[in-house]
Amino acid sequence: MDLEMYGLFLVGSILVSLGAIVIASAVLVINHLYVKYWKTVQLFKVYAYEPHNYQEPTIEPTNTANVMVTTNGQN
């Protein structure tokens, strides 16, 4: 009786460890696909002053009267 229980414990341990390996491999594959193909969705854009990337806005006249368009994206 003891040998049968020890054998079941050995088989159960092997199956649990193989299951953990399969789950860990699946997590790694999903993480790899997530990092490779995920593109961030930007709902809000925060405009902040960045001294290293600052460009002086230029003003260009348009054909419409009293309307000026700036090239820095803020109208």
Q: What is the pLDDT of residues 39-72, one digit of tens each?
A: 776 776 666 556 666 666 666 666 665 555 555 5
Q: What is the pLDDT of residues 23-39, one digit of tens each?
A: 999 999 999 988 888 77
If one compares 54 and 13, the residue with the highest pLDDT of the two is 13
pLDDT of residue 38: 79
Q: How is the chain split into domains, by residue range? A: 2-70
Looking at the chain, list the stretches that DSSP marks H as alpha helix, in order from N- to C-terminal side: 2-37
- Tell me how far apart the alpha carbons of residues 11 and 5 are, in angstroms, rounded to a whole number: 10
pLDDT of residue 35: 84
| CA distances from residue 59 to 27, 33, 49, 54, 55 in whole angstroms, order as listed | 52, 44, 19, 16, 12
If one compares 74 and 3, the residue with the highest pLDDT of the two is 3
